[in-house]
Structure 1
Amino acid sequence: MTLLEELMQIEHRLAGGRGDVYRDVLADDALVIVPGAVLGKGECVAAMDASSGWDSVVLEAPRLIESAGFASVVYRFTGERGETAYSAVLASTYRLPDRRLVLHQQTPDVPSS
């Protein structure tokens, strides 16, 4: 399995997971940047435990960037929860070799007018 495939497998776990998955994957000093908030590990775990989760998710067009001691994956995320749809470009940076997520950022699509 390639590094890209391995990291995307982790991203799929996170997309469908609850707080316990985030607790296992996030580094203790991780930051998660979502629309309107910057969360530390504890805040992110609590938010995921309070979330109803996605009914369906699609992660597509992943790209990998490797650097000394780190790897980032960037991809398009689409999720549906009931009548609500969310699409964004997501970026996750992992510390190597332990595969701990240190930084995650979501850039939501801007509706066209």
Structure 2
Amino acid sequence: MATKESLLELERQLWNADEEVYEDILSKDAVMVFPPPTGILDRSAVLDSLGSADRWRRLKFDEARLIDVGEDVVQLIYRAVAERSGDGSEYTALVTTTYVEANGSWQLLTHQQTPVDE
């Protein structure tokens, strides 16, 4: 079974990962939901977007919770504070990621970010 700490570490990697890492982690039905203008992205759109994505130089996660949704399904919920490497802008969001266990590894099924104005 996944632990909160192991999935938080995976999330940290994904915030700056390249297409190769995402190809391994995303389930075939993966969907990610971001604030406008990005919106809803399916697996192929996520992979296509990675080459042009501005990376993060600082990440902080807190208020993390791991919820056992059912057999082989968990949700990781946390607050993220991140700083863009390009312009130094700060971004705070409430995040929910759903993982499913398949073939002995955890795959990302859904990921949703709700921005927080601070």
Aligned length: 111
Query: Take 2:117 and 2:9, find their aligned partners in 1: how far apart are those partners?
Result: 27
Q: Is the 8 A contact 1:25 1:101 kept in 2?
A: yes
Matched, 1:65 2:70: no
Q: Is the 8 A contact 2:92 2:117 kept in 1?
A: no
Report the CA distance shift for 1:2/1:40 in structure 2 as closer, same or farther (over 3 A). closer
Q: Is the 8 A contact 1:18 1:53 kept in 2?
A: no
TM-score by length of 2: 0.85
Q: Which runs of 4+ in 1 moved over 6 A?
A: none
- The percent identity for this pair of structures is 28
Matched, 1:87 2:89: no
Which residue matches 1:54? 56
Query: Take 2:65 and 2:76, find their aligned partners in 1: how far apart are those partners?
Result: 6
Secondary structure of 1:16 counterpart: coil
Query: Take 2:100 and 2:49, find their aligned partners in 1: how far apart are those partners?
Result: 23
Query: Take 1:12 and 1:67, find their aligned partners in 2: how far apart are those partners?
Result: 22
